[in-house]
Amino acid sequence: MIPQEIIRAKRNGETLSASDIADFVKGLSDNRITEGQVAAFAMAVYFRGMSREETVALTLAMRDSGTVMSWSDVARPVGDKHSTGGVGDNVSLMLAPIVAACGLAVPMISGRGLGHTGGTLDKLESIPGYNPYPSPQLFHDTVKTIGCAIIGQTGEIAPADKRLYAIRDVTATVESVPLITGSILSKKLAGGLQSLTMDIKVGNGAFMQSMEEARTLARSIVDVANGAGVKTSALITDMNEPLADCAGNALEIAHAMAFLEGEMNGTRAHEAVMALAADMLVNAGLAADTESALAKANAALDSGEARALFGRMVTALGGPEDFLDQWRDYLPKAPVIRPVPAPKAGFVSAYATRAIGLAVIGLGGGRLRPDDHIDHRTGFSAIHPISSRVEKGEPLAMVHAADDAAAERAIADFISAATLADGPQKRRPVVLERIS
């Protein structure tokens, strides 16, 4: 393989063969290809794109660059969900134990916060002792015996993607649909999945700002994943306001516990979780249709079985044995908790959702640099949903901060991010479209 000839072909808009792509990815993995060549390849793909067949080949080659998990000894179908990220999006925490209680094995490999969006691993690290990087054997045993485990990407999973992404990140080639597709799916397929449901967020708190962008990415991922042999569909969901009524690591764990205890029925978070659960169960063949899948998911939640599985998962991965009953005592609490007063009476009509995510980072609840320490205590809770009415001075939300100065800044940021109108507002549906 001559790397520059592959780069030249893609630069000229030619279709690469699967063997050329596999050779390039192998060179990427063993460092035979320079960073300059990788950057040139990424830029060529950015401008010229890739066909479905090329993207499948890229995905499979990056998947096979590291360990591919096997679940041959697990007597359950194996499936997962992946979100493109949002604010107050703690869906994985509730979704994994719900579908596990319905008979699905869920080896969920999640990430940390990216930009203004929160990360599932950062949330779970609010739980004392929780280890998001267990040994492969412990991960396997937890999924096999409990039904679900939520962990982070290790160095053995799709290492070629890790190097390619790092170079894309500094060469302005992140926003390429084929490269995004290959990056997401190489890691997911390395998890040994048989089915996958994608949650493509769209709106002012998402990376995809328009429905056209969301549909393009959803269609690419669905086509490529199915082309790689994994039954996949995608839900496009609204991210024009925080999904949960909170944003911040420990606060979102507390919300998840309240959800699993049955306190969030009828909320936007409940609608999203149940829609994704139903889709996962249908894709896995554990339900014949959406209606029966919803009935199973609701039964798993209402019976307390999903809650019990979450507690068992936490304990298996190093968390407290009594977390299920004593979670309020274990989660860290901010020393300063203050209301965000509404500047006038009215109906909440809009949120600048990305700005709320950035305000959480400003409180210390996210990272400006990869090595930044996270303050898991901080964020916003009791966020009024769009369409709710508030009186002047009534809390729009509660801010949780490390000190008074940080609280004052966050209060100002949140007020700037909220729009109040004189009349009632129409609620947006959470699930906007399904791509199959």
Under DSSP, is residue 262 helix (H, G, I), strand (E, B) or coil? coil
Which residue is catalytic, options 20, 80, 238, 279? 80
- Concerning whether 201 is annotated as a catalytic residue, the answer is no
Confidence of residue 303 (pLDDT cuts 50, 70, 90): very high
**Mean pLDDT (the chain, rounded):** 94
Which residue is catalytic, options 63, 76, 81, 296? 81
Whether the per-residue pLDDT at 341 is higher than 90: the answer is yes
Which residue is catalytic, options 10, 162, 168, 231? 168
Which residue is catalytic, options 10, 76, 162, 188? 188
Q: How confident is the model at residue 155, as a pLDDT?
A: 73
Confidence of residue 370 (pLDDT cuts 50, 70, 90): low
Confidence of residue 408 (pLDDT cuts 50, 70, 90): very high
Whether the per-residue pLDDT at 342 is higher than 80: the answer is yes
Confidence of residue 113 (pLDDT cuts 50, 70, 90): low
Of 107, 189, 102, the C-alpha closest to 148 is 107
Residues 6 or more apart from 119 whose CB is under 8 A from it? 110, 111, 112, 113
Whether the per-residue pLDDT at 92 is higher than 70: the answer is yes
In this prediction, residues 205-233 reach a mean pLDDT of 93
Which residue is catalytic, options 163, 187, 201, 255? 187
Of the chain, the percentage scoring pLDDT greater than 90 comes to 83
Note the pLDDT tens digit of each residue in 20-53: 999 999 999 999 999 999 999 999 999 999 999 9
- Concerning whether 268 is annotated as a catalytic residue, the answer is no
Which residue is catalytic, options 82, 163, 215, 307? 82
- Concerning whether 162 is annotated as a catalytic residue, the answer is no
Whether the per-residue pLDDT at 434 is higher than 70: the answer is yes
Q: Which two tokens stand for residue 269?
A: 């978070």
Which residue is catalytic, options 126, 176, 183, 186? 183
- Concerning whether 120 is annotated as a catalytic residue, the answer is yes
Q: How confident is the model at residue 201, as a pLDDT?
A: 95
At position 386, the amino acid (one-letter code) is I
Whether the per-residue pLDDT at 410 is higher than 90: the answer is yes
Q: How confident is the model at residue 115, as a pLDDT?
A: 66
Confidence of residue 12 (pLDDT cuts 50, 70, 90): very high
Residue 179 φ/ψ, nearest 5 degrees? -75, -35
Whether the per-residue pLDDT at 134 is higher than 70: the answer is yes
In this prediction, residues 224-236 reach a mean pLDDT of 94
Confidence of residue 107 (pLDDT cuts 50, 70, 90): very high
Whether the per-residue pLDDT at 111 is higher than 90: the answer is no
Q: Which two tokens stand for residue 212?
A: 């056209």
Confidence of residue 292 (pLDDT cuts 50, 70, 90): very high
- Concerning whether 436 is annotated as a catalytic residue, the answer is no
In this prediction, residues 88-99 reach a mean pLDDT of 97
- Report the run of H or E that residue 339 belongs to, with start and end: strand 336-341
Q: How confident is the model at residue 362, as a pLDDT?
A: 93
DSSP letter string, 207-247: SB-SHHHHHHHHHHHHHHHHHTT-EEEEEEEE-SS-SSS-B
Q: How confident is the model at residue 357, as a pLDDT?
A: 94
- Concerning whether 82 is annotated as a catalytic residue, the answer is yes
- Concerning whether 270 is annotated as a catalytic residue, the answer is no
User: With 0-12 CB in 10 A as exposed, 13-18 as middle and 19+ as buried, what is 57?
Assistant: buried
Structural domains for the chain:
3-49 (1.20.970.10), 79-326 (3.40.1030.10), 333-421 (3.90.1170.30)
- Concerning whether 186 is annotated as a catalytic residue, the answer is no
At position 130, the amino acid (one-letter code) is Y
- 24-28, 295-299, 369-373 — which is least confidently predicted? 369-373
Higher pLDDT, 272 or 162: 272
**CB atoms < 10 A from the CB of 423, how many?**
7
Under DSSP, is residue 173 helix (H, G, I), strand (E, B) or coil? coil
Whether the per-residue pLDDT at 110 is higher than 90: the answer is no
Of 313, 282, 283, the C-alpha closest to 296 is 282
Which residue is catalytic, options 29, 59, 65, 83? 83
Which residue is catalytic, options 29, 55, 120, 378? 120
- Concerning whether 392 is annotated as a catalytic residue, the answer is no
Q: How confident is the model at residue 114, as a pLDDT?
A: 63
In this prediction, residues 108-120 reach a mean pLDDT of 77
Confidence of residue 328 (pLDDT cuts 50, 70, 90): very high
